[in-house]
Amino acid sequence: MHKDFYKTGRERLIAQLRSAGISDERVLGAIATIPREKFVPDAIKSRAYEDTALPIGNHQTISQPYTVAFMTSALNIKPGDSVLEIGTGSGYQAATLIMLGAKVFTVERHWELYNSAKKTLDELGLSAQSRFGDGTIGWSEFAPYDAIIVTAGAPELPQSLLLQLAIGGRMIIPVGDERSQTLKYVVRKDDREFDAFDMQEFRFVPLIGKEGWTVG
Ligand code: SAM
């Protein structure tokens, strides 16, 4: 595929995100820079700039760009923020966070996806700490985090993740049943208290693990 094909696609995608209500210029700037075609399988690279989720293997998906933009904007990432992502998938969401200057820690439970995302990020010169394993229990070694983003649908708020938030830290996580989830925005007020707000409805693949869904 010619380079200009992707460039035009990226420009069209940015226009679509703007008309869908995404207004955070830093997030739009990151999405305008990241080559999404590098994060999708060869066979569907021509579809990389459709505003849609796409299959990445292991029955998983790279999230829809609108979803990435919405969640990233809501987290209001500042350069230097320490951010834990659960569900690395293709690595695209991690790349977006890195472009905003975050120190990114990302966890994936599928070995193939863990490896290919790590390789893609390395090839693009984007630096993240990646871990293979169950992200529902977080990554205590590097806690507390200024922000946590969960990119798979949980049955409820995982306690371990709440406890790995810094005071004043925020978490965005889809919670619901397997068909649809409400995006929840949680802020840690102090040691014991959390505020939680409901945002939009989305549909994610399930968060599977100790504090998520059990494998079916
Ligand atoms: N953020 C990804 C991206 O940018 O491509 C999209 C994520 S995809 C919608 C959800 C991912 O969460 C899948 O790759 C899935 O394997 C992963 N996942 C599900 N449960 C998990 C868990 N307990 N720990 C880590 N990853 C998990």
Domain ranges of the chain: 3-202
Q: Is 140 a catalytic residue?
A: no
Name the residue of 44, 54, 70, 88 to mutate for ligand 1: max ligand atoms within 8 A of Cβ: 88
The confidence score (pLDDT) of residue 178 equals: 86
pLDDT band at 115 (very low <50, low <70, confident <90, very high): very high
Atom of ligand 1 nearest to the CA of 56: 5
Q: Is the pLDDT of residue 65 over 90?
A: yes
Residues 156, 55 contacting (CB under 8 angstroms): no
List the single range of 2-6, 70-74, 141-145, 173-177 with lowest mean pLDDT: 2-6
Instruction: Specify the CATH number for 3-202; select among 3.40.50.300, 3.40.1280.10, 3.40.50.1100, 3.40.50.150.
Output: 3.40.50.150
- Cβ of 158 below 6 Å from ligand 1: no
Atom of ligand 1 nearest to the CA of 110: 16
pLDDT band at 2 (very low <50, low <70, confident <90, very high): confident
The confidence score (pLDDT) of residue 216 equals: 59
Q: Is the pLDDT of residue 97 over 80?
A: yes
- Cβ of 86 below 6 Å from ligand 1: yes
Percent of the chain with pLDDT over 90: 96
Q: pTM for the full model?
A: 0.97
List the single range of 2-16, 62-76, 128-142 with lowest mean pLDDT: 2-16
- Cβ of 183 below 6 Å from ligand 1: no
Catalytic residue among 63, 73, 90, 116: 63
Name the residue of 84, 156, 203, 208 to mutate for ligand 1: max ligand atoms within 8 A of Cβ: 208
For ligand 1, the distance from its centroid to the CA atom of residue 48, given in whole angstroms, is: 19
For residues 37-63, average pLDDT: 96
Task: Map 57-95 to HEC letters.
Answer: ECCEEECCHHHHHHHHHHHCCCCCCEEEEECCCCCHHHH
The confidence score (pLDDT) of residue 162 equals: 98
- pLDDT tens, 144-183? 999 999 999 999 999 999 999 999 999 999 999 989 999 9
For residues 61-85, average pLDDT: 98
Beta-sheet pairing, 181-188 with 165-176: antiparallel
Q: Is the pLDDT of residue 1 over 80?
A: no
Q: How far is C-alpha 135 from the chain's CA centre?
A: 13
Task: Locate 211 and state its tokens.
Answer: 């504090």
